[in-house]
Amino acid sequence: MFIYLIAVGSVEKRLLLACAKNVKEVFGFEVRISDVPVYYKSAYNPHRGQFSASKLLERIKAVHLPNMLKVVGITDVDLYEEGLNFVFGVGELNGRCALVSIYRLKTPDERLLFERTFKELNHELGHTFGLLHCNSPRCVMNFSNSVLEVDQKGRFFCEECQKKLKL
Question: Edge-to-edge strand order for the sheet containing 50-52?
Answer: 44-45, 50-52, 79-80
Closest CA to 51 of 2, 89, 105, 25: 89
Backbone phi, then psi, for 112, in 5-degree steps? -70, -40
Residue 22 three-state SS = helix
User: Rounded to whole angstroms, how far apart are CA atoms 30 and 48?
Assistant: 37
Which member of 81, 82, 124, 149 is catalytic?
124
Q: What is the DSSP letter of 77?
A: S
- DSSP state string for 93-111: TTSSEEEEE-TTT--S-HH
Strands 50-52 and 97-101: unpaired
| Residue 110 appears among annotated catalytic residues | no
Which residues are identified as catalytic? 124
